[in-house]
Amino acid sequence: MGETVLVTGGAGFIGRSVCNELLARGHKVRVLDSLIEQVHGEVDGSRLLPADVELLVGDVRNRDIVSKALSGADSVINLAAEVGVGQSMYEIERYTSGNDLGTAVLMEQLIEKPVRRIVTASSMSIYGEGLYRDADGRHVQDAERSARAGQGQSWEPLDQQGRPLTPVPTPEWKRPDLASIYALGKYVQERTTLIIAGAYGMEGVCLRLFNVYGPGQALSNPYTGVLAIFSSRLLNDQRPVIFEDGEQRRDFVHVTDVARAFADALELPQAAGGVFNIGSGHDRSVREVGQALAKALGKDDLEPEIAGKGRIGDIRHCFCDGTLAADRLGFRAAKDFGEGLAELAEWVAGQTAVDRVDAAKAELEARGLVA
């Protein structure tokens, strides 16, 4: 029998897919979302969600609206968060308040109105640099590189002898290395969930999401996922801008796979207390992805613009080792990347987007966060 599930941030890109998945599994869904303009644009929030979803518009930092949202809820999926590595490096109060304080208010209200299980969205950003292997075959968890690579200096992390390190899939046991305020906040959300759930007889689960993509992303938000940012540029006949040299590698996972992972994490008994990577298990260079998206949109002539500069807080390589999620939850991403990219391109072609990428880049440069 289905539960009543509160989804905070449920009107967002990932949240809407999660709501659809929960409804398909027979759950009753209530959403709490502040519908901020940067994420949602100037739209009627009630039109973003299926008719069967109950929508409460409000801020997760407001204890009264959170208490109301929790009334009668059996479980919670916590997606509410400010999103964006670059922006977090100068809008520090906004990100700390939205992510850290928002989670704190939710947890305090859960003490008064406990639920069976809380599933919180964490992020691959908490790893900082992913896991590497050195020339002698040893794992390196704390790879470092210069934040401001000079002319001729490698973008790649090197060992103490100056030898290049080889990136390998990153498992959950890798030590966190918090390289941005956004990463710090996601780690706070993760740990707060597990601490409070354990202390008050609830079950906590955290999912460390890799690069989520798919139809419905906020194309006019220059701090969202890289594929949405590229889409906005291409839709406006502009070349995608890629920092560094474009060879940094990431793991792109489709939003429908992520929604399935959240529903599984909510339902499966063996998920309780766990922290799981959620990715596709395939790594791709950012340049390769930019070229593939341009081709899918029929804009092959718009080759990515390689900035040759890095952003403070960015990492070089991080991609998913999904062994634990496969073993414990039976989770494996199902969506083929080529198919998912074609689906994204078809959706993007029917959208309009305000290209704010240049303005966002200028903001970072003015604050000394690009070099």
Please list the active-site residues: 182
Count of Cβ atoms closer than 10 Å to residue 247 Cβ? 15
Contacts of residue 219, defined as CB under 8 A and 6 or more positions apart, other chains included, come to 228, 231, 232, 235, 348, 351, 353
Looking at residue 339, the DSSP 8-state letter turns out to be H
Q: Residue 175 corresponds to which tokens in the numbers above?
A: 């030590």
Amino acid in the structure at residue 6:
L
How large is the C-alpha radius of gyration of the chain?
20
SS (H, E, C) 23-38: HHCCCEEEEEECCCHH
On the CB side of 67, CA atoms within 13 Å amount to 7
Question: Of 19, 191, 61, which Cα lies nearest the Cα of 120?
Answer: 191
Question: Of 128, 126, 125, 122, which Cα lies nearest the Cα of 262?
Answer: 122
Question: Of 231, 193, 190, 278, which Cα lies nearest the Cα of 14?
Answer: 278
Task: Characterize the bridge pairing of strands 249-254 and 283-285.
Answer: antiparallel
Round to whole Å and give the CA distance between 330 and 255: 17
Round to whole Å and give the CA distance between 257 and 289: 19
Amino acid in the structure at residue 44:
D
Amino acid in the structure at residue 280:
S
Cα angle 303, 256, 79; round to 5 = 100
Round to whole Å and give the CA distance between 312 and 147: 6
Looking at residue 303, the DSSP 8-state letter turns out to be P
Round to whole Å and give the CA distance between 118 and 98: 18
